Structure 1
Amino acid sequence: MNYNKSNKYSKEFIQKNIMGPNPIKLLEELMEKHPLPKGSTVMDLGCGRGVTSVFLAKEYGLHVFATDLWVSPTENKQRFDQMSLTKNEIIPIKGEAHDLPYAEEFFDAVISIDSYHYFGLDKHYLGKHLLPLVKHGGQLLLVVPGFKQDIHHNLPEAFLLSWTVEDLQTFHDCAYWRNILEYTKGVEIISIEEMESNEECWKDWLACENEYAVGDRKAMNAGAGKYMNFIAIVLRRK
């Protein structure tokens, strides 16, 4: 991919604000294949410092509810103000994934980049907590980190240079995710597939001086990346 939209954003802005492998490049790949109509109302679930929310509002003209538990909405609002985004374009919200402060059938779509794996592996989560917030016919566009093949039974030592076994419990392959998602009634699985942006997005993250990025370098330099990927999940509420 050329990442024409992502490359508009300065290296300084990206390195200062991302909290993992470059999320806007993941988002650009996802949106290129699964675009949403301009003006759609969307929740950006687990938005962190709001980089993906800014991207959705500026590049795709979506009305975004930037939702995160750990980064304060006040901090995100300041960032959005600096990017000249108004409340008609983007609204920062504090919300926990199991207790989201929204009406049922409020959103045209839910987007979640590199966060859904923290709560969505519970097979009850989607149907109980998230799907009701999406209009019938609306989409859920999710990106999760994973393995090319599930290797928990024989985890390469390279991973343990940066992460514990527990840290990796949310990483799985496409087949594992399909099994989880098929449990939920009222949702159509459009696609579950590996993405091409894995290496590119990790390269941007490992170039940061964020302490977590520095910590991740040991495993990635030892070859852990060859077992990893990002998985794009596209769902539609029936």
Structure 2
Amino acid sequence: MPDITPRTSDDDLTKRLTHARYPRSNSYDARWVVANQMGPNALWLLEWLAPALGLDTLRPCARVLDLGCGRAMTSVFLAREYDAQVTAADLWIEPDDNARRIAEAGFADRILPLRVEAHDLPFAEGSFDAIVSIDAYQYFGTDDLYLPTLTRLLKPGGRIGVVVPASRAEWDGTEPPEHLKPWWEPDWWCFHSADWWRRQWTRGGVEVEAADWLDDGWRDWLLWCEVIAEESPEEFHRTMARRVGEAVRADEGRTLGFVRLVGRRTADAVGEHSRRPTADD
């Protein structure tokens, strides 16, 4: 059960989170979004990704893998906004929990929740029209060998799109920036620049169609942290939001933000070289 009483009314919360840059996200119940978040506002980040990924051009009922879907908010967004047939894949959230949320949202026939590990995806080559990952790919996708094992799941010409917390430029040296040291987490070393990700994906055998920085994304991140620190029903998320929010406020966009990446599977990304070696090789 939630362990705090909301500080603001539902109407005031909705007004606070209504954002001109994210009109589709504005139509979702703000209290539902707050209750089911697991980091930065995933709906805002997915809405920023959508035009670069070409989600509006997908065929009806296109098959989309939502990798690292968390509590399946992004999966609901994909089904509702883009008429997609979604596989909602996550390691940490019980499929039964996501199935309940999905059914309550009215998409039980369109979204399949699964528990999977990103390095052991039980899908055939060419299973998906698109792959989406919001605020998750940085935890497993920095491996030089990873991207080909994922893009083989796309149909030829299919696209993968991710949004990741990022650094404006690559880290200099082995110490974090001085102004971020009070809040530094070891996980943040997996934040990289748009140029770094572009090189990584080019080497991974996709045609990179977008690798860009979200202008003023730190302001969105800070607003969201402030809201979660006050309104989340979970103490863990309130504590983390306060800590991250302090770092983002101190940084003021000098270092921390978000990068959007879109890549298209090319013909030469198909075949044995896109398979991770096994002990039998």
Structure 2-normalised TM-score?
Answer: 0.78
Matches within 5 A, 1:15-94: 15-36=34-55, 37=58, 38-87=60-109, 89-94=110-115
Equivalent pairs, count:
234
User: 1:116 — aligned with what?
Assistant: 137
User: 1:207 — aligned with what?
Assistant: 227
2:260 is the alignment partner of 1:232 = yes
User: Is this contact kept in 2: 1:149–1:173, CA < 8 A?
Assistant: yes
Q: 1:82-137, CA deviations, whole angstroms, 9 ceiling, x for partnerless residues?
A: 111122x111011100001111110001000111111111110011x201111101
Kindly report structure 1 stretches of 4+ aligned residues shifted beyond 2 Å.
32-36, 151-164, 220-226
User: 1:104 — aligned with what?
Assistant: 125
Residues 122 and 180 of structure 1, relative CA distance in 2, 3 Å threshold: same
| Partner Cα distance (1:223, 1:19) in 2 | 22
| Partner Cα distance (1:72, 1:202) in 2 | 29
- Write the letter of the residue equivalent to 1:233: L
Select the residue among 159, 175, 182 that pairs with 2:202.
Answer: 182
Calculate the aligned-residue CA RMSD, in Å: 1.7
Residues 152 and 94 of structure 1, relative CA distance in 2, 3 Å threshold: farther
- Write the letter of the residue equivalent to 1:16: A
Residues 202 and 107 of structure 1, relative CA distance in 2, 3 Å threshold: farther
Question: What is the CA distance between 1:201 and its match in structure 2?
Answer: 3.8
- Write the letter of the residue equivalent to 1:28: E
User: 1:95 — aligned with what?
Assistant: 116
User: Is this contact kept in 1: 2:53–2:159, CA < 8 A?
Assistant: no
User: Is this contact kept in 1: 2:248–2:256, CA < 8 A?
Assistant: no
User: Is this contact kept in 2: 1:23–1:201, CA < 8 A?
Assistant: no
User: Is this contact kept in 2: 1:45–1:110, CA < 8 A?
Assistant: yes
Gaps of 5+ in 2: 1-19, 230-236, 267-281
Which shows bigger deviation, 153-162 or 18-27?
Answer: 153-162
Secondary structure of the structure 1 residue equivalent to 2:96: helix
Select the residue among 180, 183, 203 that pairs with 1:159.
Answer: 180
User: Is this contact kept in 2: 1:15–1:205, CA < 8 A?
Assistant: no
| Partner Cα distance (1:67, 1:231) in 2 | 22
| Partner Cα distance (2:90, 2:177) in 1 | 33
Secondary structure of the structure 2 residue equivalent to 1:21: coil
Bigger CA radius of gyration: 2
| Partner Cα distance (2:216, 2:112) in 1 | 28
User: Is this contact kept in 2: 1:23–1:52, CA < 8 A?
Assistant: yes
Gaps of 5+ in 1: none
2:247 is the alignment partner of 1:219 = yes
Secondary structure of the structure 1 residue equivalent to 2:203: coil
- Write the letter of the residue equivalent to 2:180: F
- Write the letter of the residue equivalent to 1:96: E
| Partner Cα distance (2:40, 2:83) in 1 | 24
Structure 1-normalised TM-score?
Answer: 0.92
User: Is this contact kept in 2: 1:158–1:224, CA < 8 A?
Assistant: no
User: Is this contact kept in 2: 1:156–1:224, CA < 8 A?
Assistant: no
Residues 10 and 152 of structure 1, relative CA distance in 2, 3 Å threshold: farther
